[in-house]
Amino acid sequence: MSAHTSASTSASNSASTAPVAAPGGPGGGRIAALDVLRGVAILGTLASNIWLFTMPGGPAALFSGGFVTDDPVRTALQALSNGKFLGLLTLLFGVGLELQYRSMVRRGLRWPGRYGLRAAILFVEGLLHYVLVFEFDVLMGYAIASVLAAYLIGRSDRVVRAWSTAVAAVYVLVIAGVTALLVTAGPASGEAGAVPLPSTASWPEQVLVRLEHAAVFRIELLFIVPSALVLFVVGSRLVRAGLFTSTPEGARLRRRLAWAGLGAGVPLNALTTWAGPDWVLVDRYLVPPLVAVGILALGTTLVGRVRAGRAPGLLRRGVEAVGRTALSCYVLQNVLASVLCYDWGLGLAGGATWQVVALWAGISAVLMIAAPLWLRRWPRGPIELLMHRVYDSRRADRAASVA
């Protein structure tokens, strides 16, 4: 009880400052920068995944030796998106966890309360997304990590720092050890050959391949879960440190993080990208989160500089709407990419670099048009509405039984 009270007091005190971008903020309502940055992160993950969808054989070909390119432009574009926007999305998920925690504290409820049910619903959604749509789903990993992070967020700073530092240290050591083995062993072969050369001519066959080789495709969870756990906590603590406030301290924190994340992270990421495939784990899981912190800080600053009362432009409204329907747009963009790229659809995989970029731009445009239209009638995306209904129906049933 004392730990809960202490955490509640800490959350209430740190929520007292004004947000960078009205309306709302850490003390209640929405932070405008979060929706915009979440939209950027969703479209950025598509920029990373579109290269997988457009490979002959689809994403599964990554484990069949099919991920090879000698096009420097394509390599540069892949490097720009690889891991950064996933890291940004993960940080924003942690920010959302902190805001949910504060909401429960304000209402006098114990945390994490029924959050386990919310995570279970997300896990089921991720499982269906993996089986039916995409081999490299992140929702399952987010669901697992969010349960662990939920129990950490309400604890004291000393406990949070100890646990997150320990997890991060072990995580870095494991990736460094595997990378050293890859460098010592010579050219990395990864998991090439672990899955037979796939075909995209039949959607049911793709589903069967995902089920039969789940141990291979889902091995990424071993990297996603600990990374997400740490980044969720970092996102939570950045809210408490005042990242989204309009105070001088908040502005100073954003400047420092932007310089550190972009000034140090971008050069490091360039080095790991051109170091070769043996450095793939460092290039995807260690350096990109540092860049993501810089993007988060810089993006929050830029959104906060929009003059009060000024109507957002068409592009801003589209990206913000994608951010407000992030879960639905994440799934929809992968469904659209499947239909466009696979042979059971339009079969557009295997095109030139400019064609891949055009596919990304086209799908992004569809999302930025569809999301605002949807939000004119409904307050959440379709998957978010379903998740909310399932979560709240249990609460309504319990209230009815008590009554």
Q: Is residue 311 part of a domain?
A: no
Q: Is residue 313 part of a domain?
A: no
What is the identity of the amino acid at 284?
R
* Total domains, the chain: 1
Q: Is residue 27 part of a domain?
A: yes
How many whole angstroms separate alpha carbon 274 and alpha carbon 11?
Answer: 43
Q: 318-355 burial string, b = 16+ CB within 10 Å, else e? A: bbbbbbbbbbbbbbbbbebbbebbbbebeebbeeebee
Q: Is residue 310 part of a domain?
A: no
Q: Is residue 36 part of a domain?
A: yes
Q: Is residue 136 part of a domain?
A: yes
**Ordered per-residue pLDDT tens for the chain, 403 residues:** 334 444 444 444 444 444 554 434 444 456 889 999 999 999 999 999 999 999 988 898 887 765 556 778 888 888 889 999 999 999 999 999 999 999 999 999 999 988 999 999 999 999 999 999 999 999 999 999 999 999 999 889 999 999 999 999 999 999 999 999 988 886 544 455 566 777 899 999 999 999 999 999 999 999 999 999 999 999 999 999 999 998 999 999 999 999 999 999 999 988 988 888 889 899 999 999 999 999 999 999 998 887 555 777 889 999 999 999 999 999 999 999 999 999 999 999 988 999 999 999 999 999 999 999 999 999 999 999 998 888 776 554 443 333 3
Q: Is residue 314 part of a domain?
A: no
- Model pTM score: 0.88
Q: How is residue 107 written in tokens?
A: 């209402």
How many whole angstroms separate alpha carbon 386 and alpha carbon 29?
Answer: 22
Q: Is residue 223 part of a domain?
A: yes
Range of the domain at 385: 2-305+321-402
Total length of the chain: 403
